[in-house]
Amino acid sequence: MLKNNIQDALNAQISLEASSSATYLSMATWCDRQGLSGCAAFFYAQSDEERMHMLKIVHYINDMDGLAIIPPVDKPASEFESIQIIFKMVYEQEKHVTDSINRLMTLSQEGHDHATTVFLQWYVGEQREEEALVREILDKIRLIGDGSQSLYYIDKELERINKVRAAAEAAGADAGAEAKA
């Protein structure tokens, strides 16, 4: 059974993940309207991933005989200045989520809640990967610059990243299936 303070903190994380999912979905639709199909695909996938992160916490709370609370989600912005600014926002968002996971990890460790500490270790690694990916994208955007064709090259770079991620996920799914066989 979860202690109340841990359950409350996990429910707050559910809210943060839901908000991130909605924000990324809004960014995806903006990218679609701008003709940035590679960027749109990236953000649609990010939205799905954040929803999956939220659901993992919901299931964990339920498995621990707690009460998962599904929050209302504030309407995210639907207009953005540029793809460059969007990715700067994404980086700040991911750092905020990392800070929240770190606070949860500290809370679970201080409360000697070993099950929650083990559960959160996956999120620690996931956030490291997310921040590194967004930093890589920001680095590419800086290299591409702001010239007249920069949006084209940024979008193509995101298409390449989407393909790499899809291949890695497929390889992971194949490895998981082989392990079960």
Q: pTM higher than 0.85, yes or no?
A: yes
| Pairwise CA distance, residues 10 & 65, whole Å | 13
DSSP reduced 3-state for 3: coil
CA 179 to chain CA centroid, Å, is: 27
Q: Which two tokens stand for residue 162?
A: 């989407």
> Which domains are seen in the chain, by residue range?
4-71+80-180 (1.20.1260.10)
- What is the spatial distance between Cα 5 and Cα 16, in angstroms, rounded to a whole number? 17
pLDDT one digit per residue (tens) for the chain, 181 residues: 899 999 999 999 999 999 999 999 999 999 999 999 999 999 999 999 999 999 999 999 999 999 999 999 999 999 999 999 999 999 999 999 999 999 999 999 999 999 999 999 999 999 999 999 999 999 999 999 988 799 999 999 999 999 998 998 888 876 655 555 5
Whole-angstrom distance, CA of residue 151 vs CA of residue 163 = 18
